[in-house]
Structure 1
Amino acid sequence: MTREGEDRRAFLRAGAALAAAPLAGAALASPAAAQESTANLAASEVQAWATNDTSGTFAPQMIKRRAAGPKDVVIEIMYASICHSDIHTAHGDWGMPTFPLVPGHEMVGRVVGVGSEVIKFREGDYAGVGCMVDSCGECANCLADREQNCLNGTTFTYNSEDKVSGGVTYGGYSKKVVVTEDFALRIPPGVDLAGFAPLLCAGITTFSPINHWDLKPGERFGVIGMGGLGHMAVKLAVAKGAEVVVFTTTEEKIADAKAFGAKEAYLWTDEEAMKKNMGSFDLMVSTVPVAYPMQPFLNLLKLDKTLVNVGALFPIEGAQGMPMGFGRQSLAGSMIGGIAETQAVIDFAAHHGIAASYELITPDQITEAFVKVVNKEARYRYVIDMTKA
């Protein structure tokens, strides 16, 4: 695939430069290593953790991974985190998925094989895979680095039509993934690999609206809901120099929000706090994964400002035309981000020392973790240690 535009060219040049840089241990040291490298490019069956019904009960299951093509990279997955989208999909909230279902679109691992035409990676590099693994590469949106909005159909990382191998795609709750280099992200050495996995969805989902609506230092930024997405929104906006305020339904998270750098944090049932904050925000992001009345938060916006919904994917509740009209306020939506922008949030996080706050679990704890996420017990991402599989 080829994409035009300076951003895309700069992105590929950076990848080529990284691939050309020396990397300790990346060179093949022996004929045995060369043989292993070749074997890693072959089609294989790998261990995964799958659910076969909407109960969300996971068990080990073997899945097939395709042979690596000339532009493919083979990644041995080390860490994969649990997104609320995984739970919605597994439970059939967005329509019945194809079973067996192997979720996971926040994964980081080590490159163990590269196709003959790959320029961004070499063996031994760290790489990540996010919410999508392919797009047409030719439509207006793809050429604008908006692959997530591909007009000919984005291939998502799991439960999506696999246009290369047939069947459906399988995600990161597995030992290995094969993906075209255009959809693999460079993970800098020396970072907390487990803490970087959630950047591949939670990070980019909250970073993209911060970028698009051009949040500036000193501006007042509201975060509604502080779970997996919300806590990343706080950390990223604080690093941007914004004045961050959190609204949560969980009292224990107020102290956490301030520890992450928020200037203020409130229960959204606090009527006095809501009154005090009327008309004070330059930008707000709602990360709550279910519908709720949004007008009380729209009322907190300044004139001409925007509340961006990145959480609830069902019909929006409670927005009212009259007050929105008087304040000329906008209610907008946003969904993940393109590959170049996802690389940007990874690089931004590395530069500012940001990573997700997480609890490391083993694959046999996935079922239990799903329940805890639904019960709001996660603090703030469950990350599966695939090296313990």
Structure 2
Amino acid sequence: MAKPPARRAVRGATVNTESRRFNLPQVEADGDWLDARDDLDGVPAPLHTTVTIEHPRTIISRNASPDVGFDRSINPYRGCEHGCIYCFARPTHAFHDLSPGLDFESRLFAKPDAAALLRAELARPGYTVAPIALGTNTDPYQPIESDWRITRGILEVLAETHHPLTITTKSDRVLRDLDLLGPMAAQGLAGVAMSVTSLDPLIARTIEPRAPHPERRLKAVRALADAGVPVYVSIAPVIPAITDHELEHLVERAAEAGAQACFFIPVRLPHEVAPLFRAWLDTHYPDRAAKVMAIIQSLRGGRDNDPDFFTRMKGSGPWAELMRTRFKIACRKHGLANRGTTLRTDLFRRPAGPQGELF
């Protein structure tokens, strides 16, 4: 019987698939014996995280998507060491001619100039205020934030200027910044969404290998709520036949932890995420891989992914309707009204420029 392929420990993707190529010519191996190490030893070479410094000209990204509740965001990092197999941001690594697979979770980019760029953009005369979203692409509190502290610098600028913000994360590292988020929340300037996709540590470790334990995230929800920060639990994504059975229990635990609302999104598999997800299923859930993909396709109009506005966030068909019904009943049972928080924009103070700092 053929030996199963060797696996790297504590990584999400099982392969480093080819990506769409945008910029560079095809890279070829140089013939060094290290190129064949996996074949020679039968064990994958250790995969270490590297960080490349990026110097963008601006830091606020804009979007006009009609089904997204914000028009601007900041991403302190590209790539994410949490390694969530389902991450819809994985295809962005193709823009660097890197793989959305293992490269996405190990070859990261950091933007240390983010706070200075943000200050300059907020100081522009034509800038109009609206909440800035952090964590919409990759997690602003992934492990490297402990050393780089780029998210911290961004929050300091937003706190200084009384600018509203929202944060989405699956890390309890957000509690490090309660000294900023607490006072901002008291002024109606901040809200946090904590992502909790499974309460089963074995499942969580498989789908989100380097993210904090689910119980740590729920404790963070309680700490944020106790500090007066509006906090939500994001059950996103829901993976059919793997995590969907936990939907009601996740809502219950979110309510117990002090969340004021929950929301969920069925799993999305854009571009390179679909083959990565299929390979992951074959490795970790071969007994149900076909069933999982069949349900996903029923949610997505017969495709692996539905890119259309509005339906991409909700899914369609009987499986999607069943999830929505179960979710609504659970929220009603546990007293979650699912009302959002309107953040204030009238307190914004444009940052002082070099001239203003002289007086």
Q: TM-score with structure 1 length normalisation?
A: 0.23
Q: Which one has the bigger strand percentage?
A: 1
Q: TM-score with structure 2 length normalisation?
A: 0.25
